[in-house]
Amino acid sequence: MKHTVCKAEELKEGQMKAFTIDKKSIVVIRSQSGEVYALRNVCPHKGPALSDGSLDGTCTASEPGEYNLEKVGEVLKCPWHNWEFDIKTGCSLFNPEKVKVKTFDVTEENGTVYVQV
């Protein structure tokens, strides 16, 4: 079922907001590129609200001493232990095959953001 969560103008680029839909806590995020994503607002590790975390990037390296910042604004970090999740897929960055956060379909129509739960 499609649920109204907010007006599109209330969710700025790089911002996230928590909502409760059918007793489920969901975090809705607008990426820096303007896309909107929705994930379950619970870290699978110890359970804190992911919306209390931060939107960042992640560092990669191909050799010691090298740092490459990637996925800027597309990584949701848990506030307790910094577990990182890709906002597009819900997959963790450290074990994407086994550790994931549920994602939900999001649409933006006529200036309103909807989440399909």
Q: What are 73-98's pLDDT values in tens digits?
A: 799 999 999 999 999 999 999 999 99
CB 60 within 8 A of CB 77: no
Quick check: 71 pLDDT over 90?
Answer: no
Residues 28-53 have a mean pLDDT of 96
Tokens for 105, please give them: 């379909």
Closest CA to 79 of 56, 45, 52, 105: 52
Q: What is the pLDDT of residue 11?
A: 96
Closest by Cα among 66, 79, 65 to 18: 79
Share of residues in the chain with pLDDT > 90 (%)? 82
Domain boundaries of the chain, sorted by first residue? 2-116
pLDDT recorded at residue 116:
95
The pTM assigned to this predicted structure is 0.90
Does domain 2-116 bear CATH number 1.10.238.10? no
Residue with tokens 């994503």: 37
